[in-house]
Structure 1
Amino acid sequence: MRISVLGQRYNDNQKLRQFFASALASIRALPGVQSAAVTSQIPLGGNVDRYGFHVEGKIHANPELDESAERFCVSPGYLDAMRIRLLRGRDISDRDTWTTQQTLLINETTARSMWPGEDPIGKRAKLGGLDLPWWTVVGVVADIHHSGLDIAPTMQFYIPHAQWPFPDSDMTFTIRTAGPQGSLASAVQQTIHALDRTQPLSRVMPLEDYIGLSVQGRRFSSILLAAFAAVALFLSALGIYGVTAYSVAERTREIGIRMALGAQPQEVFALLLRQWVVLVVFGVALGVAASAALTRFLASMLFDVRPTDPATFVSVVFLLVGVAALACWIPSRRAMRVDPIVALRYE
């Protein structure tokens, strides 16, 4: 739930912080709310806020070209609400206020990049301009995909909303619930409006919808590709059936001779089916080799699946062999019922 706090009454930083603190206290008291927090950026929300990240003791020849990291200005409880794992150190808490030591959390990528082989807890960094005060690292959290599911996590840091010198007025409430979300959304809106009816709310939706919006273009492309693949599979099966049926018709006289000489219908069926399955397996093998070479062009559309995922290839191979075997089985089955006398007269 996004809120943009408006009005002259909130032009003071302390009043703005107090509004969000009061709103969170009221939301956390609602039935069904397990945890709640506010954040300046929501993962996959479409906005990226980057700040310079300057490590104490590191020489900065050109600060303008130095490292930068994604900034998240959050309240206590954000990690719990978003289920982001705390790997070491401590979380942001209510003890982190405007008058206490300025603290921040960093992600795994930042820890590896800025302090390789070291424990970053207790280390200090400056954010943005070099004339700003030092911030002390108190915890390391797991990486998250912020810019996109197909984009590797970059350097990220989290700072207490109560300590940021320029508090954001555009914030997002992140709420984890134990029950239906629809009724709770209405209750949260009423809670906010009870504090200030003039404040507009937007993008009231589950996190799954944020994820859906971020991948809707790729989802459409995937559906389109799946539709084309289904049509191609149908045409392939139809083609195999047609070729097999034609071959059986061409070999009708041969089939009649075999059966007249004592071949059993099951033997004729096995002979025809075996010959076609060998060709099908050979064709599928060529297709798998070509697919392995071409899947890299689809890598940008895959999430948490490798382009050469073995399970996917095995399942597709079984599907193709099954469809092809069925297409061969029907004409071969029909050949079992051929009358040898009729077959011998067939031209």
Structure 2
Amino acid sequence: MKTPWAVVVGEVADVKENSPDLPLKQQYYIPDEQEAEMAGSLGSPTDIADNGGYIVLRTAMAPEQMENLLRSTVHSIDPQLPLTQVQSMEHAISDSEAPRRFNTALITSFASIAVLLAILGIYSVIAFSVALRVQEMAIRMALGSQRSGIFRLVVLSGAKLALFGCGIGLAGAVAASRLLRSFLFGVSPFDPLVLTLATISLLLLALVASLLPASRAASVDLTEALRSE
């Protein structure tokens, strides 16, 4: 028996199937008629028989109108040929990316809650520290320290706390890089731009959280603060 041969007529770009983060597979395209001809005596009915296929159409028509036209066209060719899962390409891609979007939304929700808790924590710590150091702030101002200096002192305390937290966060990101890599495709978990922007954003939020305690510390009444205890 002769081994069938085929001529390669072209080359196409890589194609992602099912999900964009799955590894690529070696693939080739061949017309059905040519596949049956190539199989010849070496093939069996099961080699060239199939129970379905896909049709992709590019059109400027609305998806609903195109679906009706496509069904009527297929019915005119073969009334017994079923046509199922008629949908737009946007819908098909959306279905394939639904698990990824759910994971992203879940991680984003937890991250937002973590950021909110961090800001509330920084505010609470700074406010509590200011409340404990009221007399110290009053003495500093009595000795000649400006209110702007007191304000700057409190804000710097919040910035130091935020820097310490960012350092721990970056170390945690490095430790969890293997887990993060499984949720990403086409993006590195160590993207310098993303890490830099995240760090700057957290520092700015920490500074904002420190503004109110700093303002209270700078506006403390010297007489009342020195008289207390």
Same-fold call, TM cutoff 0.5: yes
Give the corresponding residue for 1:197.
79
CA contact (8 A) 1:161 1:167 kept: no
Q: What is the TM-score when the length of structure 1 is the normalising length? A: 0.58
- CA-CA distance at 1:332 after TM superposition: 0.9
Q: Distance in 1 between matches of 2:100 and 2:177?
A: 16
Give the corresponding residue for 1:238.
120
Give the corresponding residue for 2:12.
141
Q: What is the one-letter code of the residue matched to 1:339?
A: D
User: Which SS does the other structure have where 2:22 is aligned?
Assistant: coil
- CA-CA distance at 1:316 after TM superposition: 1.6
> How many residues are aligned here?
218
Structure with more of its chain in helix, by fraction: 2
1:293-340 CA-partner distances (Å, limit 9, x unpaired): 312212122122112122321222122212222212221122122111
User: Which SS does the other structure have where 2:11 is aligned?
Assistant: strand
1:229-272 CA-partner distances (Å, limit 9, x unpaired): 22121111111111110000011111111222232221110111
Q: Structure 2 residue aligned with 1:170, among 48, 52, 56?
A: 52
Give the corresponding residue for 2:31.
160
Q: Structure 2 residue aligned with 1:215, among 86, 89, 97?
A: 97
Q: What is the one-letter code of the residue matched to 1:142?
A: A
Give the corresponding residue for 2:209.
327
Q: What is the TM-score when the length of structure 2 is the normalising length? A: 0.86
Q: What is the one-letter code of the residue matched to 2:11?
A: V
Stretches of structure 2 that go unaligned for 5 or more consecutive residues are: 37-47
Q: Distance in 2 between matches of 1:314 and 1:222?
A: 20
Q: Distance in 1 between matches of 2:171 and 2:184?
A: 19
CA contact (8 A) 1:150 1:300 kept: no
Q: What is the one-letter code of the residue matched to 1:210?
A: A
Cα 1:131–1:305 change in 2 (3 A) is farther
Cα 1:312–1:179 change in 2 (3 A) is farther
User: Percent of aligned positions with the same letter in both sequences?
Assistant: 38
Give the corresponding residue for 2:42.
none
- CA-CA distance at 1:186 after TM superposition: 2.4
User: Which SS does the other structure have where 2:190 is aligned?
Assistant: coil
User: Which SS does the other structure have where 1:266 is aligned?
Assistant: helix
- Of the two structures, which has the highest relative contact order with CA contacts closer than 8 Å and spacing of 6 or more? 2
Stretches of structure 1 that go unaligned for 5 or more consecutive residues are: 1-129
Q: Distance in 2 between matches of 1:171 and 1:333?
A: 69
- CA-CA distance at 1:148 after TM superposition: 2.8
CA contact (8 A) 2:181 2:189 kept: yes
Give the corresponding residue for 1:274.
156
Cα 1:296–1:137 change in 2 (3 A) is same
Q: Distance in 2 between matches of 1:190 and 1:336?
A: 78
Q: Structure 1 residue aligned with 2:192, among 310, 315, 339?
A: 310
Give the corresponding residue for 1:66.
none
Give the stretch that moved more between structures: 239-248 or 182-191.
182-191
Structure with more of its chain in strand, by fraction: 1
Q: Distance in 2 between matches of 1:131 and 1:155?
A: 25
Q: Distance in 2 between matches of 1:191 and 1:167?
A: 23
Q: What is the one-letter code of the residue matched to 1:342?
A: E
1:36-59 CA-partner distances (Å, limit 9, x unpaired): xxxxxxxxxxxxxxxxxxxxxxxx
Q: Distance in 1 between matches of 2:9 and 2:96?
A: 31
